[in-house]
Structure 1
Amino acid sequence: MPRLPAPLTLPPGHDAAGATGPDPAAARDRYRALRRRRRTETATAWAFVAPSVAVIVGLAILPVIWSLLLSFQADDLVTPSRWVGLDNYRALRQDPHFSQAVGNTLKYTAMYVPLSMLLGLGLALALNRKVRFVGLYRTLFFVPFVISATAQGVLFSFILDPQFGAANSVLHHLGISQQGFLTDPGQALLVLVAISLWSGTGFCMVVYLAALQDVPASLIEAARLDGAGRRHLLRHVVLPTLAPVNVFLLVWQLIESLQVFDLVYVTTKGGPLGSTTVVVYFVWQQAFQNFTAGYGAASAYVLAVALFVIAAGARALRRRDAGSPEGAAR
């Protein structure tokens, strides 16, 4: 007689249909274990992030709030401050020194930004080829960007010294009269622009080089097969693909030029006759030389508003380009 199979027994929590039913106690235990694990992970994450958060709050957020409140006060950093409302901002409108600083900053920006981008693009186009020692050339053009503005200022202060500098020595051998350079009110700002171009052009070159190497080779080859020359290739193929990079570099260089300070502080101290006083140097001068911290904070917030407008304009421009059919195609 064949042996009958042993009957199947269901474990607790199963119904007659064989489906596993909910176990309230086990579900609660799993939920509590999950919550404990999440709390542990959260605590561990905050333990790692807390030092950075403390630095950001202590060195960025709190000073911004404090300086905003300071801009509505009269404060000499010694005696107790007093609330003056918008008087600091009203005084800025009538201050000829602040107007001169704004004018110098705009002149510096108007010369430095387009020239740095044009020179950077030219160098990138020249070095985006299979040339012998091209890596060395790229490095040599980029090295000045790594040097700090303070070191640049010290270096060129010696080179451009009116009496003992190497620049006037070379000009003397060439039969050219001695130049004032950083001590001449008519030349000082132009010389600062030239020094900034010496260092800032390398950054634009590297960015443009990276963008040029991302231009599709098939697109260039198709344009050449259609008979496009080098000039037409640059105008109708290469430059349109560099539009996003142009926007990035424009905003970056604008922000850098509007915040120039180190080079001015090391070389000219805002002189001669205020010809190189820029907005950030004016802020430092008012706060730490004239001991009018509230007035300096107000001028700093005028600059901050200008930077915010530039950033907002760039963001709107990028959104418009991304929403257009051409931007979507790119």
Structure 2
Amino acid sequence: MTVASDIPETESWFHKNQQKIAPWLFLAPGILFFAVYVIIPIFQSFNLSLYEWDGLGKAEYVGFSNYEQLYWEYVDRDAFFISLKNNVIWLFMYLLAIPAGLFIALFLNQTVRGIRIYKSLFFFPFVISQVVVGLVFSWFYNPSFGLLNTMLDWVNLGPVNVLGDENLVTYGIIIAGLWPQTAYCMILYLTGLNAVDPEQIEAGRLDGAKGVRMLWHIILPQLRPATFIAFVVTIIGALRSFDLVSIMTEGGPFGSSRVLAYYMFEVALSEYGFRMGYGAAIAVVLFMIMMCFIAYFLWSMYREEKGH
């Protein structure tokens, strides 16, 4: 006679695949929030860019009319052209934060007296808000009482109105943005330097590598993950720059310091009549530019990893 307890119990599908399912259960809340607050709004922006809508009334489908207007603004060197040109300047100048952050991190990675004080000083810009950075540099550039013009007076160069000069204003704002961005890159590289293999450094020293050769052939290859993150974050920061422009100049003088993010705010929510569809078209263009740069760096890293 067969006893019920002798019959082997069939394991459920969940118990069989428990190890495969567990990671996805932990990731599910993050994926859900990412989808709701990032992925879905991206598609909504694409959809909204095909409409003419003031945010209150009925949306009117206009197809690619908003993108055509952006094109003609670019051809006529109007506000969109100025904003795009400024974003390109932001992009290339902002990349200076990466080597600057690397060299500061190399300095702070040394065991010297008072290194904690230096680390605190260099870390400070990262923890303050962009609004504070904008206000500090607005005072610094002030032609009446700013520290910049005080120092220029010492060498008889006279006052310079950085934020009031159409040719200088964009560069002045970018310098203000480089201050906290360099601190962020420094933190990334400090973290990466803690993971550098000391055995490889010792092997390099035995082979006679030191200084620039040690940095180029041994340290930098091990800092590739930190460099990749620094590039991506810096590019995104340059292309979505808004806070400093808004605080320091509000796009002036005469719209010469506009960037795409600020122009999008102007046309969608400010003086240009609440053109939500047109603002969404600008956002889509900005998103596509970001994706091109990020895809390029991802592909470059993939090829390097595959080559090794």
Does TM, normalized by the shorter one, top 0.5? yes
Match among 100, 109, 113 for residue 132 of structure 1:
113
The RMSD of aligned alpha carbons is: 2.8
Match among 13, 27, 43 for residue 2 of structure 2:
13
Deviation of 1:58 (Å): 5.8
Deviations along 1:267-302, whole A, 9 cap, x unmatched?
Answer: 111111322111101110110121211111111011
| Cα distance in 1 between the residues matched to 2:40 and 2:210 | 57
Match among 279, 282, 286 for residue 296 of structure 1:
279
Partner of 2:21: none
Distance 1:183 1:243, change over 3 A: same
Matched, 1:321 2:304: yes
| Cα distance in 2 between the residues matched to 1:199 and 1:93 | 34
Deviation of 1:13 (Å): 2.4
Partner of 1:3: none
Deviations along 1:219-272, whole A, 9 cap, x unmatched?
Answer: 222222222232221222222222332222111111111111011111111111
Partner of 2:52: 74
Aligned residues: 293
| Cα distance in 1 between the residues matched to 2:213 and 2:39 | 50
Match among 87, 95, 108 for residue 90 of structure 2:
108
Matched, 1:97 2:79: yes
Matched, 1:22 2:7: yes
62-71 or 91-100, larger mean C-alpha shift: 62-71
For 2:80, give the aligned amino acid.
F
Q: Give the 3-state SS of the residue equivalent to 2:250 in structure 1.
A: coil
Matched, 1:310 2:299: no
| Cα distance in 1 between the residues matched to 2:93 and 2:191 | 25
TM-score (norm 2): 0.85
| Cα distance in 2 between the residues matched to 1:272 and 1:111 | 21
Deviation of 1:193 (Å): 1.5
Distance 1:221 1:88, change over 3 A: same
For 1:314, give the aligned amino acid.
F
For 2:183, give the aligned amino acid.
G
Deviations along 1:168-226, whole A, 9 cap, x unmatched?
Answer: 23333442200101111111111112111111111111111222232222222222222
Identity of aligned residues (%): 32
Match among 241, 245, 257 for residue 264 of structure 1:
245
Deviations along 1:112-169, whole A, 9 cap, x unmatched?
Answer: 11x1011111111112111111122112101101111111112222222222333323
**Superposed structure 1 runs of 4+ greater than 3 Å apart:** 55-66
| Cα distance in 1 between the residues matched to 2:225 and 2:102 | 14
| Cα distance in 2 between the residues matched to 1:13 and 1:302 | 72
For 2:197, give the aligned amino acid.
P
For 2:47, give the aligned amino acid.
L
TM-score (norm 1): 0.80
Partner of 1:83: 61
For 1:294, give the aligned amino acid.
G
For 2:108, give the aligned amino acid.
L
| Cα distance in 2 between the residues matched to 1:78 and 1:232 | 62
For 2:165, give the aligned amino acid.
D
141-150 or 56-65, larger mean C-alpha shift: 56-65
What are structure 2's unaligned runs of at least 5 residues?
A: 19-24
Larger Rg: 1
